[in-house]
Amino acid sequence: MYEFDFVRPATIAEAVQALAADEAQALGGGQTLLPTMKQRLAMPEALVSLTGIDELQGVCPDGEALAIGAATTHADVERATADSYPALAALAGQIGDPAVRNRGTIGGSLANNDPSACYPAAALASGATIVTHRREIAADEYFEGLFSTALEEDEIITHVRMPVPQAAAYEKFVQPASRFALVGVFVARFEDGVRVAVTGASEEGVFRWEEAEAALSQSFSADAIAGLSVDPDGMIADLHGSKAYRAHLVQVITKRAVQAAAA
């Protein structure tokens, strides 16, 4: 790790100000950023911790949706949404290990947009709105590709507005080493249709499987997507699976998510 300054502001305004400095970077739970810094692959001059800002903490109802503070840890999301949004709670409870869940935050995960991360699938399938200190961004506009989002430099996610579907489930098929998603599928059924978001699989990062959404909106059952498949071409190929394998898993895991959501 290189040397850096560390500040832990108490308000969003102070954080925004601190982030205006050159090479300053927001720090959530540090579960992605700190390992990267230890490997000397990131070298911010200042870290602005967001975990001391009360406004960024916790989960509260927001109409039909939940407003989840960006600095809420995975463990807190798991506890706070166990009744209100069980599929989300289950997702949060499957991230990493207890240490990661007690430090890592939803805002950090969404800002990072790792192509194998779990929260992006939940946000996209739920039709979430990513709220920053400047603006609101619909999930459909937010995820732009591998580790890339609509966020501007120094833009802070303050909270995430997650509509709660009538039925939902997240099914995660883990990569054996990292236990991130080799393929993860979040299925959310709303009154006006079904949304299916797939993480881990695509070279473009999290994506909506629209063909499956259409079929499931007609009939919310695993059989409805039995004949569907995604094109292996855009899928990730690595040590842990070929393009064909990932494309196949997308279908299998989606079916399982639908079964779980329908149960």
Partner 1 sequence: MPKDHDGKFTGIGASTKRREDIRFLTGTGNYTDDINLNGQAYVHFLRSDVAHGRLLSVDTAAAAAMPGVVRIFTGADFEGVGGLPCGWQVTDRFGEVMQEPAHPVLAQGKVRHVGDPIAAVVADSAEQARDAAEAIVVDIEALPAVINMKEAVQDGATKVHDDLTSNLCYDWGFVEENRDAVDQAIQNAAHVTTLELVNNRLVANPMEPRVAVGDFNRATGESTLYTTSQNPHVIRLLMGAFVLGIPEHKLRVVAPDVGGGFGSKIFHYAEEAFCTFAAKALNRAVKWTSSRSEAFISDAHGRDHVTKIELALDADNNFTALRTETYANMGAYLSTFAPSVPTWLHGTLMAGNYKTPLIYVNVKAVFTNTVAVDAYRGAGRPEATYQLERVIDKAARELGVDPLALRRQNFITEFPYATPVAVEYDTGDYHATVDKLEEIADLGGFAARRAASEAKGKLRGLGVNCYIEACGIAPSNLVGQLGARAGLYESATVRVNATGGIVVMTGSHSHGQGHETAFPQVIAEMIGIPEEMVEIEHGDTANTPMGMGTYGSRSLAVGGSAMVRATEKIIAKAKKIAAHILEASDADIELKDGQFSVAGTDKSLAWGDVTLAAYVPHNYPLEDIEPGLEETAFYDPANFTYPSGAYACEVEVDPDTGKVSIERFAAADDFGNIVNPMIVDGQVHGGIGQGIGQALMEGCIYDDNGQLLSASFMDYAMPRADDLPFYEVDHSCQTPCTHNPLGVKGCGEAGAIGTPPAVVNAVIDALQSAGKPVTHIDMPLSPARVWAAMNP
Ligand X SMILES: Cc1cc2nc3c(=O)[nH]c(=O)nc-3n(C[C@H](O)[C@H](O)[C@H](O)COP(=O)(O)OP(=O)(O)OC[C@H]3O[C@@H](n4cnc5c(N)ncnc54)[C@H](O)[C@@H]3O)c2cc1C
Which positions lie near partner 1, rule CB under 8 A? 1-2, 39-40, 173, 176-178, 182, 239-242, 245, 248-249, 252
Beta strand residue intervals within the chain, DSSP E: 5-7, 24-27, 46-49, 59-62, 65-69, 129-132, 136-138, 143-145, 148-149, 157-163, 167-174, 181-190, 193-199, 207-208
Q: Which is nearer to ligand X, 151 or 224 (CB)?
A: 151
Residues counted in the chain = 263
- For the bound state, the minimum distance from the C-beta of residue 250 to partner 1, rounded and expressed in Å, comes to 11
Stretch in the footprint of ligand X (CB under 6 A) among 76-84, 108-116, 161-169, 215-223? 108-116
- For the bound state, the minimum distance from the C-beta of residue 167 to ligand X, rounded and expressed in Å, comes to 22
Does position 165 interact with ligand X (CB under 6 A)? The reply is no
Secondary structure class of 15 (helix, strand, coil): helix
Burial 208-219 (b: 16+ CB within 10 A, else e): bbeebbebbbee
- For the bound state, the minimum distance from the C-beta of residue 201 to partner 1, rounded and expressed in Å, comes to 13
Q: Which is nearer to partner 1, 1 or 10 (CB)?
A: 1
Does position 29 interact with ligand X (CB under 6 A)? The reply is yes
Residue type, 28: G
- DSSP class of residue 23 equals T
Does position 225 interact with ligand X (CB under 6 A)? The reply is no
**Residue 29 interacts with, from partner 1, ligand X, none (CB under 5-8 Å by kind):** ligand X
Distance of CA 4 to the CA centre of its chain: 28
Cross-strand pairs, 157: 132
Stretch in the footprint of ligand X (CB under 6 A) among 1-9, 92-100, 228-236, 249-257? 92-100
Tell me which residue of 231, 192, 199 sits closest to 214, measured CA to CA: 192
The residues that touch ligand X, with contacts defined as CB under 6 A, are: 25-33, 50, 70, 95-96, 100, 104-105, 107-109, 111-112, 114, 117-119, 156-157, 179-180
